[in-house]
Amino acid sequence: MIEQYEYEDQRYVEDVNDTYEGDDLGITMQSASCSFKVWTPKASEVQLLLYPPSTDGSPEEYSDRSGQLKPKVIPMNKQAQGIWHVEMSGDWCGYRYMIQTTFGDGRREVAVDPYARAVTMNGEMGVIVRLEHTDPEGWKEDVRPELASPVDAVLYELHVRDFSIHPSSGMKYRGKYLAFTETGLLDSEGNSIGVDHLAELGITHVHLLPVFDFATVDEAQVDTSNSDRSNYNWGYDPLHYNVPEGSYATRADEPETRIREFKSMVMALHQKGIGVIMDVVYNHTFDTARSSFEKLYPGYYYRQWEDGTYSNGSGTGNEVATERHMVRKFIMDSVRYWAEEYHVDGFRFDLMGLIDTATMKSLAADLHEKVSPSILLYGEPWGALESPLGEGMTLKGDQRESGFAVFNDNFRGAIKGDSDGAGTGFATGAEGAEENVWVGVRGAITDFTSAPTETINYVTAHDNLNLWDKVAYTQGLEDTLGFISYDEDGSVKGCDNVQQAVQQASPYKQVEAGHVLENEMVRRCLLANGIVLTSQGIPFLAAGDELLRTKFGDANSHESGDVVNAIRWEYKKQFKPVFDYYRGLIRLRREHPVFRLRTRGEIEQSIRLLEQDKGVLAYELFGTASGDSWKRVIVAYNAAKESRALSIPSAQWHVVVEQGRAGTDIIRTVVGGELSIPAISMTVMYCS
């Protein structure tokens, strides 16, 4: 049977007789044997190359006459559907292995098994492990937090190393998975830091930047090098999709350690009631010609143009052909493996536009049916450059009624303006942005969603300027605050290096101690994320926003090192009122379902516009449909530099958010008539 995939500029023909449906690719461990299966239908010969666990004291059969390590070569047997297989009796735990393929034209390749679940340092070889030996104590009792609806989530995007690497964290396992297991940590004023800080803040899920094994950090040097760029990367350079990154483990040279410590991190977060989202990068790989995919089946795993050249919709040199049967299967197998073996609670898909919509729909259906309906799926509904996938791309609107959500960049731009420059949005001083904000507040149901469960609402993420720095640019303060700028060759302008530039910067120069909430930049930051946390949909925060985190104006810090990226925990005591405001808004959202409406019908029934003009957007929420104890709620945003008067219905209104204070406790009571909304702020009030 032949299956065809049509693109704008190419037609690819796939023989479905060479596709495999089994769930046992890679290694299957039995009590007294080990089975290997690899899919490479065009190979004429396949061999398993087996190496001992260590070069020290290796048996003679693994050494040549000069004493150099050589593999034991084991022929694999060809089966139907493109499968090559061999089964060996005995205990092979700890042994390293590779797959050697020979093709009809004489080409010979040696590859790491793409289904490998453990690898050596820097991912050079696969390793045989029994996964049950990697479970930390209590793992079998670990329980994932359940969600009644995606809108009940409050997402917090975080890089593993950023979380703990700064000396102010006071952590033993700085930069490691195990930092998330450290509890009871306090700053000099008794404020919680680390994982206790996350629990106190009230977020429901930590969204981790890529934690699968990626290519560009040297796992052997990560704890010894002082270079900014040799030990740091965001991780959007996939090497092995089914193995945790080794640089975040205490011992990258011990294959089981990174697995056990990753699980320990997940369990520690679950014990705090916090789920774990993995940022996954199935749209491209770090390398093309040297990737295991290309070595095992040349030309199959990557999209090409009609002339045979590899397409580059990712902007990184290749794009994975997700619509092809065995590529789709690999992605689905991989995601399900993380959800089941590691108890991961959700997945964020990088450049999801390059993943075909059929694959995304299949993923969502499979995970929700076979693992848990609580698993969250969302991604970026765009690509980077032109792709032959064409109409098959997963863009805004393609997620409708399909069990996954997309980032709402329309709302993002309406709130803050552009991502890297001085362009303004509603919260940063633009005029005429109220209507676009109003569309986002209602869960984008008049834009591209069928329900608020399909929109990820945010103003900033790891990409581009972070929130504090973006607001500074809109106010023209980047030079005053000493932000970093770069020459065309990548060198830092006016400084010898990045560290010197950071030391000379003064990002909080205009924030007066004791009067933090009176500062205009602070108020604009609080207004921006205040809109996110009170709107319908799934709110998403970038780590450190609640601490006024700065990256010193670095808009692309993917390899800028710890000096730019590390979370500085001393900011918590410096900006405690800001943290308290975020915590109060999250509590307000989580305790009152009127802010978490689940359907288009509930939104149409429960939200009424009150004012939309001259920097003011105000609306009324009715709590009946959601079963909220608050019968009516008024939310008012004022982005103007002066207070504004708002006519309100006649009733006794209890103010719970105003002037930098937020939560569910009553601040004051207002009788209907007219409400004064302070400049650059948000007011929330209710009546029973």
CA–CA gap between residue 135 and residue 141 (Å, rounded): 11
Distances (CA, A) of 513 to 189, 509, 510, 519, 577: 16, 10, 9, 10, 11
User: Smallest Cα–Cα separation from 538: which of 148, 147, 149, 150?
Assistant: 150
Q: Distance (Å, rounded) from C-alpha 181 to C-alpha 175?
A: 12
Q: Which two tokens stand for residue 613?
A: 């003009």
Neighbours of 96 (CB within 10 A): 23
Active-site annotation holder among 113, 345, 380, 628: 380
The Cα–Cα gap between 455 and 378 comes to 9
Helix (H, G, I), strand (E, B), or coil: what is residue 23? coil
Q: Is 380 a catalytic residue?
A: yes
Helix-strand-coil percent breakdown of the chain, rounded to 5?
Answer: 30, 25, 50
CA distance 466 to 527: 15
- Contact between residue 181 and residue 263 where contact means Cβ atoms under 8 Å apart: no
Reduced 3-state DSSP string for 128-161: CCCHHHHCCCCHHHCCCCCCCCHHHCCEEEECHH
In the chain, how many H helices and how many E strands?
15, 27
From the list 350, 434, 554, 611, the catalytic residue is 350
340 is catalytic: no
Q: Phi and psi (nearest 5°) for 651?
A: 180, 175
Residue 334, phi then psi, degrees to nearest 5: -65, -50
In 41-176, alpha helices (H)? 160-164
Count of CB atoms situated within 10 Å of the CB of 384: 17
Per-residue H/E/C for 91-135:
CCCCCEEEEEEEECCCCEEEECCCCCCCECHHHCCEECCCHHHHC
Q: Residue 493 — φ and ψ, nearest 5°? A: -65, 130
Rounded Cα–Cα distance for residues 380 and 283 (Å) = 11
What CA–CA distance (Å, rounded) separates 572 from 563?
18
d(CA 27, CA 37) in angstroms, rounded, equals 7
For the chain, the first-to-last Cα distance in angstroms comes to 65
Active site residue ranges: 350, 380
